[in-house]
Amino acid sequence: MIYSATATAVVVGGVIGYKAMKMGASGSKTTKYLPEFEEQLPSLSGKVVAVTGSTSGTGLVFAKVAARKGVGTILLLNRPSERVTQAEEAIKKEIPEGSTTKVKSIPCDLQDFESVKNACTIIKSKFQALDVLCNNAGIMAMEDLATKDGYDVQMQTNHLSHFLLTKELFPLLQRAKELRGEARIVNHSSLARRGGLLQSEYFAKNSGGNLGGNGFTGKWNRYHYSKLANVVFTLALADKLKNSGIKSVCAAPGYSSTNLQVTSQGMTALMWTRFVSQSAEDGAMPLLQCAFGMDVQNGDFWEPSHYMNMVGPATKVKLTKECTDEGSQKMLWEASEEACGKFEI
């Protein structure tokens, strides 16, 4: 079985259970670090930022912080739902008085390539430049199913559609670099990236329903490969973007108290592990650092600094061999282009 987020929770329970007992539930989920961290982020005035998966969790925190820092426009890319309206209203409440920040929702279903392309068409018709593309959205431990496009539902949602989004919006990122000196592509991975090397069958069309079944191990293996793909994509893209002024970077939230953790198979049985979790606000710090922070370099990976990278302030970390494998990068790029079309850089 791969080294999944659930396996991490079990290990951490044994390693820092005593610390968790001392901290208590309220101490572990109280936002400790974000306010001070947010103060040192630069103004985002005039910038255009797009984020997927912004109706809850780290994506919603990300959008709220961008609004508080005076971003020019924040584009919310989500599947249409009542939660989108609620999130948009919540983000607008964070805009400082006198700020000209605009909040715009754009329909974007990551389980449908056509929907992703339509979202890109809308963005390109309204904006000439995009400063940050934050590929945040993700699903976890889903059933062994294919999307309407024929790909594993977790791989398409977590990686392939973000590859397509990045490919289609790349000209806008290039334009932002020309206008303002840099642009950033931020991918969101997980502790579950740790484990075996990428396998090509998880990227294949019509593989949904044939990738391990609906047992605990099958679901978490598919999640592992999708979150590992986020890192491998980041590094493959970073290599192609050397000296371009466009940065490809990646983050992981550690173990944060979000809807994703509560609703996924295996996590509800380990609710006691939430005693060692941190708030979604603190879990969003690596993502925010990658998108807006100083001292961020092309190819960086940031995640929490404490307790096996589960909680704490964001720090730059060294990646393990399954993430840096050059053969995996080549395979992922070829498989992703086969699914999404040629990505010319």
Residues tagged active-site: 223, 227
SS (H, E, C) 69-87: CCCCEEEEEECCCHHHHHH
Instruction: Indicate the helix (H) or strand (E) that contains 233.
Output: helix 216-240
Q: Are 176 and 183 in contact (CB under 8 A)?
A: yes
Dihedrals φ, ψ of 200, to 5°?
-65, -30
Q: Are 335 and 232 in contact (CB under 8 A)?
A: no
Token code pair at residue 237: 């893209």
Q: Count of alpha carbons within 13 Å of 183, Cβ hemisphere only?
A: 25
CA 188 to chain centre: 2
Token code pair at residue 128: 């000439």
C-alpha span between 146 and 207 (Å, rounded): 7
Q: Which residues 6+ apart lie within 8 Å of 232 measured at CB?
A: 198, 323, 325, 328, 329, 332
C-alpha span between 186 and 205 (Å, rounded): 26
Q: Name the one residue in this structure whose structure tokens are 């948009």.
A: 88
Task: Tell me which DSSP letter residue 301 carries.
Answer: E
C-alpha span between 262 and 188 (Å, rounded): 19
C-alpha span between 132 and 290 (Å, rounded): 10
> Is the C-alpha dihedral spanning 67, 57, 182, 106 positive or negative?
negative
